[in-house]
Structure 1
Amino acid sequence: MHSIQFLPQEVFTDVTSGEKKEIDLLAQCRFEQQDTCFLIHVENQSYTETAFAKRMFKYFARLYEKYDCAIYPVVIFSFDEPKRAESTNHSVRFPDLNVLDFNFKEPIPLIIFVLQSLSLLRTANDKLRLSSTFYGKK
C-alpha cells in the first residue's frame, strides 16, 4: 500500500432527522515502513454552524466504528463572516465527571496548502481513472 490512499467519501444519515451528510476528504495514511495505518479526515466548513463541533464528533465516532483505527480530524474554516474563532471542541460533562472531550485541529496555512494540494491530486486521479475507464484503458 502507498503511504497515502484516498478512501471513498462516506455518507452518514442522521438517524433522527434523516438528513444525509457527506464527509469532504478521507485519507488512509501509513508511517514509513510500518504496518499500522491511521485516517486523516478533512472537512471544509464554508458557513457558520452552531453544532459543527458536535457534527465533527459524530463523523469521528462513525469512522472510528467502521475503520477501528486512529483518526486525525482537521477542519478548514473557509467562511468570511462572522470573523471569530470557532470552537474546535465538543464535550459532555457533569459536575463530577468529564465523559467526553473531543478536539479537532484548525490547520496552519502551510498545512492548508498541502491539504488543498492533496485534494486537487485526488480530483486529478479520479478524472484520470474515469477517462481511462471511458476509453477502455486500465
Structure 2
Amino acid sequence: MAAMPLLIKETPPESTHIKHDQLYKELIHTFFREFLEAFFPDVHENINFQRMKPLSEEVFTNLLDGDTRRLDIVIETTLKDTDVVIIVHIEPQSYKQSDFNERMYHYFSLLYNKYQKPIIPLAVFSYEEDWGEKQFTMGFPFFHVLTFNYMTLHLRKKN
C-alpha cells in the first residue's frame, strides 16, 4: 500500500505579520520607558513616567456603521514639570505598506477626535525594505492643506 502524500498548508503572510507585530507590541508595553530612552531620547526626556496610563486602543473608523480598529500602543501621560496631558501612539509595522503614511494620519485623526489631546505618533519598522518617508501630505496645485509628520524607528538599520 502506497503512503499518502504529506500535505503542508502554509500560513498566509498576514497572520505572520500580526503575530510579529503582537510580539513587538508586548515588548514595547513591558519596556516602554527603556524603549523610549534607547530609541526616542527626546521623547523620553520630556515625558512624565509617573503619570502613565494605557488608553483604550479601540477607535471608531466609521461612526455610522460602528466599525472599529485597534491601534497598537496608546499611552496617556503628561509633559515633565507640567500638567499638559499628551498621548504617545506607537505603531509597530513588520511589512511594507504603500499607504502607511495615510494610515498613520488616519490613526492620529481618530485618536485626536476621541481624546482631544496632543499626540506623539511613532512608527517602528522591522522589515528589510527602506522606508524613508515619514509624513502624509494633502494639497492641490493651488493650495497646501496639511503636512502630517511622525517619528520613525527602523530596527533593521540598528546594530
Pairwise TM-score range, normalised by the shorter structure: 0.5 to 0.7
> For the structure 1 residues 66 and 13, does the alpha-carbon distance in structure 2 shift closer, same or farther, using more than 3 Å as the test?
closer
TM-score, L = length of structure 2:
0.58
Matched AA of 1:87: E
> For the structure 1 residues 50 and 19, does the alpha-carbon distance in structure 2 shift closer, same or farther, using more than 3 Å as the test?
farther
Greater displacement, 19-28 / 68-77: 19-28
Cα offsets for 1:90-115 (capped at 9, x unmatched): 11111121101111110387xx9xxx
Greater displacement, 99-108 / 36-45: 99-108
Percent of aligned pairs with the same residue?
Answer: 30
Cα offsets for 1:44-68 (capped at 9, x unmatched): 0111111111011110001001111
Structure 2 counterparts to residues 51-70 of structure 1, below 5 A: 51-70=99-118
Q: Which of the residues 123, 140, 153 maps onto 1:94?
A: 140
Using the alignment, how far apart are the partners of 2:130 and 2:79 within structure 1? 35
- Let me know the Cα RMSD of the aligned residues: 2.7
Using the alignment, how far apart are the partners of 2:73 and 2:109 within structure 1? 16
Deviation at 1:86, TM superposition (A): 3.8
Cα offsets for 1:56-93 (capped at 9, x unmatched): 1110001001111100100001112xx22242111111
Cα offsets for 1:2-39 (capped at 9, x unmatched): 42211122244467xx9753211001111234222010
Structure 2 counterparts to residues 1-138 of structure 1, below 5 A: 2-13=50-61, 21-80=69-128, 83-107=129-153
Structure 1, gaps ≥5 residues long: 113-138
Aligned to 2:101, the other structure's residue is in SS state: helix
Structure 2, gaps ≥5 residues long: 1-47
Total equivalences in the alignment: 108
> For the structure 1 residues 32 and 89, does the alpha-carbon distance in structure 2 shift closer, same or farther, using more than 3 Å as the test?
closer
Aligned to 1:47, the other structure's residue is in SS state: coil
Using the alignment, how far apart are the partners of 1:25 and 1:57 within structure 2? 15
TM-score, L = length of structure 1:
0.66
In our comparison, the structure showing a higher alpha carbon Rg is: 2
